[in-house]
Chain A
Amino acid sequence: MKILRINTRTKEYSFQEPGEYAGMGGRALTSRLIKNEVPATCDPLSGENKIVAAGGVLTGTAAANSGRLSVGGKSPLTGTIKESNTGGSFAQKLAKLGILALVLEDQPEDDSWVNIHITKDGVTIEDAGDMVGLGTYDSMDKVRARYGEKACGMIVGPAGEKLRRAASIQFSDPEGRPARAAGRGGLGAVMGSKRIKAVVLDDKGCGMVQSADKDAFRAANKRWVEILKGHPVTSEGLPGFGTAILVNIINEAGALPTKNFRHGRFEHAADISGETIAETIKQRGGKTKHGCHPGCVIQCSQEYVDAAGKYLTSGFEYETVWGFGANTLIKDIDTIATLDRICDDMGLDTIDMGGALGVAMEGGAIQWGDGDTCMDLLRKAASDDELAAAIADGTAAVGKKLGVTRVPVVKGQSLPAYDPRAVKGVGVTYATTTMGADHTAGYAVCQNILKVGGDVNPLDKMGQVEISKNLQVATAALDAAGLCIFVAFAVLDAEDGVSTIADMVAAHIGQPFTVDDVVKLGTSVLEDEIDFNTAAGFTKEDDQLPSFFSEETLDPHGVTWDFSVEELQAAKVK
């Protein structure tokens, strides 16, 4: 495997031996490379920043759910290091092309936009032409027309072109739809700052990635599939109802952030639930289950169709449904699905957009529940409209513009769909992860609400710091392996869950790899990221939730956020 470096200023490229990155993958590789090569204090939109895209150690093999991609860089939203994780076909094709990591460096002096086309025969960098300014759906049509039906894209939308700080990078799924996002942290703006409209992969003529010990790998993967197919969450809940199955349970738990984190329950939760979404899709003839990449045996995604039965969106997730639903008091599921589609098309992070619209409503710039105005403003993300531009710059930017003080962000990134006062474990993660507020970094909702991997009282501080810390380590390891984090529901409940992953890695690399090594790997990733953030000027004072969570009680449980600065530090590995 080689590292492909592309200089976006000189348009030169080179394939390099992996050197110190040999054997690394996913988030372990992206975070190490960013720490080594990007000055921590640099302007994230300058030529000093880089974008690194890497599949995991297992990506490109037959291991189930191993096709996730890590995209790294310094975030223009948070100023921290960033690993934004995405599905789509890109990671597997990158691995099959023999590319351990793709690194986009420097930036051009002029305003000419390019596409990068990578095949087994080499790299072509060419004028993006009429794709500039287009949404990602139209862009993918052009990609297919230009580079062939099977071409797979990593694309920025108009928001990324305009360097909006909450811009996503969109990735095409197996059907060629740009519905998968490296959403969090504004990496779309970094790609835009390098004037790259699309990176297109074609893996024609390339085979699967081969494992060192094929028989041992096959045996471990067989057990792996059994674990995933044997757990009710990964075999029934997620394929049946998608991730929005969480709407009802988080609402019951009194932890569904409603009206910009003012309440813990939304009276119209049933209208936006996973059950309602699945029912709607079935009635209209869409698909309730769908995999974001080949080899996913869970299939939490879907094809959401409109009232006429026409495809509207996919990868329509719980956080998105919450952000555009309960958080803004919009209760019409078609409006929420349309907002998701607009975000994918404009290239915007749905979580930060949900947060931003909530804060805009808090500040009186939009009426609560006004979906039409929300659609209009998101469509104008790349225009001169000042409010639309602030929204596309994220939740924190809207708070600043409108002088709102109840702004739900940590390190400038919007809180996701669980109120930290009523799911305290995930609040610890929001505060202390290297990423800015992020649920995926240590999904303590498992032990707090879902009774997976343990069972603690979500309203109590007891045990939460330890749980969050352990999950942060385990998640970093999954991200390095290229595995989808939803495997965790099955892994946490299976005695041989983690050891089976270790067995797959060992058989693949042909060297011993144990459960201890999994923990070491996760810890080392977090250490790299903390080093970067510390060098960028972040301190323990930044590992905090906004003060309104400590000052205002949340109904129905009457709880507040009550961790001290020092207590929270114990959730970090260094």
Chain B
Amino acid sequence: MNIELKCFATLGRFAPENADAYELPDETTVADVLTALGIPEEEVKIIFINGVKKELHAPLADGDRLGLFPAVGGG
């Protein structure tokens, strides 16, 4: 399956080249994606799947939009 992967702010350095159509085996979780990309878990504070906040062990489905963020704030 393919997902649209977005690594933001300080996580930008981990973004793979084919992030717009990032290929994954079926039954993959967000945690698996972090492992595959070498992103330390503690650097990821906020996870969005299709615009909804999720946890590390949330499963991914084909066509999902996954957004990964470090701790951010502003306003």
User: By the criterion CB–CB under 8 Å, are B73 and A489 in contact?
Assistant: yes
Known: A238-B73, A443-B75. A457 touches B9 (CB 8 A): no
Query: When A556-B51, A557-B51 are in contact, do A248 and B9 touch as well, CB less than 8 Å?
Result: yes
Contact pattern, B 48-75, Cβ under 8 Å of A = 1, otherwise 0: 1011110000000000000101111111
Let me know if A318 is at the binding interface, CB within 8 A.
yes
Please tell me which one of the listed residues B6, B52, B72 contacts residue A233 in the complex, with CB atoms under 8 A apart.
B72
A450's contact among B46, B50, B51, by CB below 8 Å, is which? Answer: B46
Interface size class on chain B is: 20 to 34
CB distance B72 to A252 under 8 Å? Answer: no
- Chain A: CB-nearest residue to B43: A232
Given contacts A275-B12, A457-B53, contact A232 B70 (CB under 8 A): yes
Chain A residues near B73 (CB-CB < 8 A): 233-234, 237-238, 245-246, 446, 450, 452, 486, 489
CA distance A233 to B45 in the complex (A): 11
Whether B50 and A236, one on each chain, are in contact in the complex, defined by CB atoms closer than 8 angstroms, is no
Task: Confirm or deny: A244 has a beta carbon within 8 angstroms of a beta carbon on chain B.
Answer: yes
Please tell me if the beta carbons of A249 and B46 are within 8 angstroms of each other in the complex.
yes
| B74 with A252: CB separation less than 8 A | no
User: Is there an interface contact between B9 and A238, defined as CB atoms closer than 8 Å?
Assistant: no
CB distance from B72 to the nearest CB of A (A): 5
The answer to whether the Cβ of A242 comes within 8 Å of any Cβ in the partner chain is yes
Q: Are B9 and A300 in contact (CB under 8 A)?
A: no
**A249, B50: Cβ atoms closer than 8 Å:** no
User: Are A300 and B50 CB-contacts (below 8 A) given A245-B9, A275-B12, A451-B45?
Assistant: no
- Over the window 445-457 of chain A, the binary record of Cβ atoms lying under 8 Å from chain B Cβ atoms (1 yes, 0 no) is 1100111100101
- What's the Cα separation between A446 and B75 when bound, in Å? 10
**How many angstroms from the CA of A451 to the CA of B73 in the assembled complex?**
10
Whether A240 contacts B75 by the Cβ 8 Å rule is: no
Would you call B48 and A252 a contact (CB within 8 A)? yes
Mark out the residues of chain A between 259 and 316 whose CB falls within 8 Å of any chain B CB in the assembled complex: 264-265, 274-275, 300
Say if the beta carbon of A523 comes within 8 Å of chain B: no
Contact assessment for A253 and B48 in the assembled complex, using a CB-CB cutoff below 8 Å: yes
Q: B10 at interface (Cβ–Cβ under 8 A)?
A: yes
| Residue B22, interface by CB 8 Å | no
CB-CB under 8 A for A275 and B8, given A244-B74, A445-B75? yes
Q: Are B72 and A246 in contact (CB under 8 A)?
A: yes
* A interface: dominant SS: helix
A497 at the binding interface (Cβ < 8 Å): no
Expressed in whole angstroms, the minimum distance between the Cβ of A327 and any Cβ of chain B is 16
- Report, as a range, how many residues of chain A touch the other chain: 35 or more
Complex Cα–Cα for A244 and B75 (A): 8
Measured CB to CB, the nearest residue on chain B to A456 is B53
A241 at the interface (CB under 8 A from B): yes
What A residues does B48 contact at CB under 8 A?
249, 252-253
Residues of B near A319 (CB, < 8 A) are 75
Tell which of A232, A253, A439 touches B75, judged by Cβ atoms closer than 8 Å. A439
Given contacts A249-B69, A457-B53, is CB(A243)–CB(B75) below 8 Å? yes
Which residues of B from 8 to 38 have beta carbons under 8 Å from A? 8-10, 12
Q: What are the interface flags for A552-574 relative to B under an 8 Å C-beta threshold, 1 for contact and 0 otherwise?
A: 00001100000000000000000
Q: Does A440 reach chain B (CB closer than 8 Å)?
A: yes
Residues of A within 8 A of B45 (CB): 232, 451
CB distance from A104 to the nearest CB of B (A): 29
Question: In the complex the two chains form, is A440's CB within 8 Å of B72's CB?
Answer: no
What are 21 residue pairs bridging A and B, where the CB atoms are less than 8 Å apart in the complex? A237-B73, A241-B72, A243-B75, A245-B72, A246-B74, A248-B69, A249-B48, A249-B67, A249-B69, A252-B51, A252-B67, A264-B51, A274-B74, A275-B9, A318-B74, A445-B75, A446-B73, A449-B46, A485-B75, A486-B74, A486-B75
**A interface residue numbers (CB < 8 A to B):** 231-234, 236-238, 240-246, 248-249, 252-254, 264-265, 274-275, 300, 317-319, 439-440, 443, 445-446, 449-452, 455, 457-459, 485-486, 489, 556-557
Q: Top 8 nearest A-B pairs by Cβ distance?
A: A243-B74, A233-B73, A232-B71, A252-B67, A254-B51, A489-B73, A246-B74, A252-B48
Which residues of B approach A to under 8 Å, CB–CB? 6, 8-10, 12, 45-46, 48, 50-53, 67, 69-75
16 further contact pairs, Cβ within 8 A, besides A234-B73, A238-B74, A254-B51: A236-B70, A237-B73, A237-B74, A241-B9, A246-B73, A249-B46, A249-B48, A252-B6, A252-B69, A253-B51, A449-B46, A455-B53, A457-B53, A486-B73, A486-B74, A486-B75
